[in-house]
Structure 1
Amino acid sequence: MLLLALAVILVAAQVLGAAARRVGQPPVVGEIAAGVLLGPTLFAGAVPETLFPQDVRPGLAALADLGVAVFMLVIGMDLDQRLLRGQRAAAAGVAAGSIALPFASGALLALYLARTHETTGTTLAFVLFFGAAMAITAFPVLVRVLTDRGMHRIAVGGLAVAVAAIGDAVVWCLLAAVLTLTGEQSGWQTVLAVPYLLVMVFAVRPALATVAAALARRGRPLPPSALAGVVVFAAGSGAATEWLGLHFIFGAFLAGAVIPRAGTEALRAEIVARIRPLGSVLLPVYFAVAGLAVDLSTVTVTAVGELALILLIAVSGKFLGAYAAARACGQSSRHAATLGVLMNTRGLTELIVLDIGLRTGLLDTALYSLMVVMTIVATAMTGPLLHVVYPPRLLADLPSGVTHPRVPEPGPAGGACQP
């Protein structure tokens, strides 16, 4: 039954992912939709009862977590840190705006939703969690959107990557604090998250660079066992951040990000070539597992109104927060609008956050279902809106192979957030 369930999930994800791509959407939109359609929404729940019995679901959940961890490791290794040079101050300013407004407006909405939805824990924990969920940007999906459109090689693309990375890190820390309030995590473990991050960046990364340089001086290629070593490193980092309350995907991403680029080119190419397909294949399993908790068959008129409010606040909060902060940092109107649109990509990361809320009782099934619909709609809006605010013709005149972020583009330079 586990093998049959896996086969059905992969077929559904491939079919709907291809359909999404054909209409100009990221495949992740179709894959998430496939997960929802395989859940209890259709046919009175007959599909999940038949294909995903209770004894199969733990196995699917394990495969789903493995796929997410591998995917985030590769994303971390693929992060081109040259795109962050000279933009750290601007990235921090835009990240602050893109988090503060949706968080504050989401928290206010949570006070209203708390009257009609039952959650465990305190109202404060629910309000903070919901605000954080509204402030999420799906870093992996954003990178995929930029790459598909060739925008990863221009200034606004590099800035968007930096903003999303900073924003996700802040939101994960906030979620760790929320879990502490709910009793899911002890306070002293959460405090250790900051030293762990500092050790990884300022101690582990230089040590890895020293080892890579020594091997390069000897003229010997990196041994095949290095692949296993990197996987062990990522697994250990994921386990550490999970224990600290930051979720294992943050640790897996951090492991990939701190691996130095110089002297490890062959290792990087080998790891990415071997394990990227594994992560891509298993990610739809995560979407299917998330979809098992989504039931839209009982949506009422009141729920439709709540969904409209959630969408309005989620989309407008992200866009206006990022836009205003980007303009304050000296970005042109076009670039500011582009950042506002890109920050609304939610996808995978949003689902992970919502899953945490469901597991800890901070979200009930009804509100979880509405938030998943918001995730799909907000992510699906990104492509069409991006086509309007940053049309492909602006990329047509760029030299082939351009990768440096400082490509001349229209718009004023300087600003309060420029270094």
Structure 2
Amino acid sequence: MSPDALIAHFVGASALILVAAHAAGWAARKLGQPYIVGQLTAGIALGPSLLGHTAPGVYEALFPEEIGTALTGFAQFSLVVFLFAVGYELDLKLLGDRARTAVTVALASFLVPMAVGSGAALLFWDRLRALGMPRDPSVPMVVFAGIALSVTAVPVLTAIVRENGLARTVPGVVAVSAAGLLDVVCWTVLAGALMENGGDHALGWPWRAVIAAGFVAVILLAARPLLRLLLRRTHMEASLRMALLIGFALGSAWVTHSLGLHVIFGALLAGVVAPREPDGTLDPDLLRPLHDVSSLLLPFFFVISGQAVALNGMGATGWVAVLVVTALAAVTKIGSGHAAARLGGLDRHDARTVGILMSARGLTELIALNAGLQAGLLSERLYSVLVFMALATTLLTQPLLLLTRRLAERESGRPDDAAGPPAPAPGQDGTRTAPVADLG
């Protein structure tokens, strides 16, 4: 295929991806579901399992193998920008007076699903072999099985909290704060699993761990002061400041990828150390274009993720695995979050709300699964099972919140006030209101 033909194919495929994904996201939001549900559904529909199976000629014409690298590159770029924004917005000061409760919820929501996921993987490994996993499990594979059940998606949780008027309530603050802490723990453990897995890397994992620790130390100690000095002394325009920080995020992502990790770790780290305003607030001139770029390009990631979903190869074993894994994922998250919130002093209704919120997964889960698939910690069939688990737990969050609200009304004999006031207008409650919050 000539270069001109490749470019034409890529442009046409990009147009289809953007229109289909955003239209599906809009439809999902109209149905009361997060944007991600529609976008990932569109990605799966445009993949080989549906479009490729029902109209193979059309699929080959739209997505020839030659443009796969370009699509993957756009997907990785969108991930770097998105996770840079996530790291930039990460603010553990939300803990406030509920710090102990949030820490308790975060630890319980990590340890219980982690133990259940890893234990179930060891106990039922023979069944997982039917889904394409190797004969003997490695330590990183078992650890990753636990991580897959432990993840909570901070962006989608934030959007759900805001849309349900929970942003100023105790369960809303506790859930968002605990999810932020949980993110840090999960990404750290995932980094360790990927580093130990190693793959074909020339350096052994101990050396790479030492180099990675040195890189993190340099970034944490030197990057923010240097960036702040450069940005303030030069008085850069917003566009140049944006270019500098995204370049910094891409460079950091390249380093972590070179160490055998995923680009996601470098992007998150770059966002965490990016300088804030003098009063500690986020720079709106930086945040707004970050949200715009990531919102525009993330559909490429959804299509790449959807193309790896093997619907045709699921079989009865795969669909049974989806049901079992979804049940484990929901019960362990909701149960551990509820119990920890009760121990932290929350009443029954607020504790139930916290547990349900902690079960939301969304884009964060997909990013972790994609990293595991690329590292060889998952087979394509098990990856498909876990993608459907992520979708199911995300879909269940809103109905379960409505159910617990009705239970509270029935128990009190009056409309539930514990859910807080009606959702405030965008920007009035200090929560994130940009499109990226609805994606993850």
How far 1:376 sits from its partner (Å)? 0.9
User: TM-score w.r.t. structure 1 length?
Assistant: 0.85
1:52 to 2:69 alignment: no
1:21 to 2:33 alignment: no
Counterpart residue type for residue 120 of structure 2: L
User: TM-score w.r.t. structure 2 length?
Assistant: 0.81
Deviations 1:287-336 (A, max 9, x none): 10011111212432222221111111111111112222222222332232
Deviations 1:126-180 (A, max 9, x none): 2221111111112222223233344334443333222222222222222222223
- Once structures 1 and 2 are overlaid, which stretch shifts more, 257-266 or 54-63? 257-266
How far 1:378 sits from its partner (Å)? 0.8
How far 1:36 sits from its partner (Å)? 1.0
SS of residue paired to 1:131: helix
The within-5 A match list for 1:5-44 is 5-42=13-50, 44=53
Matched with 1:146 is 161
How far 1:200 sits from its partner (Å)? 4.2
CA contact (8 A) 1:222 1:267 kept: no
The within-5 A match list for 1:252-267 is 252-263=267-278
- Once structures 1 and 2 are overlaid, which stretch shifts more, 156-165 or 113-122? 113-122
Matched with 2:403 is 388
1:165 to 2:180 alignment: yes
- Once structures 1 and 2 are overlaid, which stretch shifts more, 172-181 or 89-98? 172-181
Matched with 1:414 is none
Matched with 1:117 is 131
Q: 2:356 aligns with which of 329, 341, 344?
A: 341
CA contact (8 A) 2:92 2:180 kept: no
Counterpart residue type for residue 252 of structure 2: S
Equivalents in 1 of 2:179, 2:224: separation in Å?
Answer: 22
Counterpart residue type for residue 160 of structure 1: A
Matched with 1:407 is none
The within-5 A match list for 1:260-339 is 260-263=275-278, 268-339=283-354
- Once structures 1 and 2 are overlaid, which stretch shifts more, 151-160 or 32-41? 151-160
Equivalents in 2 of 1:89, 1:195: separation in Å?
Answer: 31
How far 1:345 sits from its partner (Å)? 1.6
Closer, same or farther: CA 150–194 of 1 in aligned 2, 3 Å: farther
Q: 1:96 aligns with which of 107, 110, 114?
A: 107
1:187 to 2:206 alignment: yes
Closer, same or farther: CA 278–244 of 1 in aligned 2, 3 Å: same
Deviations 1:267-302 (A, max 9, x none): 822222323211101111101001111121243222
Equivalents in 2 of 1:117, 1:265: separation in Å?
Answer: 48
Counterpart residue type for residue 95 of structure 2: L
Counterpart residue type for residue 251 of structure 2: G
- Once structures 1 and 2 are overlaid, which stretch shifts more, 333-342 or 307-316? 333-342
Equivalents in 1 of 2:35, 2:86: separation in Å?
Answer: 17
Number of aligned residues: 399
CA contact (8 A) 1:114 1:123 kept: no
Closer, same or farther: CA 188–141 of 1 in aligned 2, 3 Å: farther
Matched with 1:411 is none
Closer, same or farther: CA 9–179 of 1 in aligned 2, 3 Å: same
CA contact (8 A) 1:72 1:253 kept: yes
CA contact (8 A) 2:132 2:380 kept: no
SS of residue paired to 1:237: helix
1:108 to 2:119 alignment: yes
Structure 1 residues not aligned, in runs of 5+: 405-419
Structure 2 residues not aligned, in runs of 5+: 1-8, 407-415, 432-440
Q: 2:150 aligns with which of 135, 157, 161?
A: 135
CA contact (8 A) 2:108 2:340 kept: yes
Equivalents in 2 of 1:292, 1:57: separation in Å?
Answer: 11
SS of residue paired to 1:119: coil
Equivalents in 2 of 1:104, 1:7: separation in Å?
Answer: 43
CA contact (8 A) 2:195 2:261 kept: no
Counterpart residue type for residue 309 of structure 2: V
Counterpart residue type for residue 38 of structure 2: G
Deviations 1:176-200 (A, max 9, x none): 2222343336223234545554554
Counterpart residue type for residue 396 of structure 1: P
Counterpart residue type for residue 151 of structure 2: I
Matched with 1:409 is none
- Once structures 1 and 2 are overlaid, which stretch shifts more, 360-369 or 143-152? 143-152
CA contact (8 A) 1:154 1:403 kept: no
Counterpart residue type for residue 104 of structure 2: G
Matched with 2:365 is 350
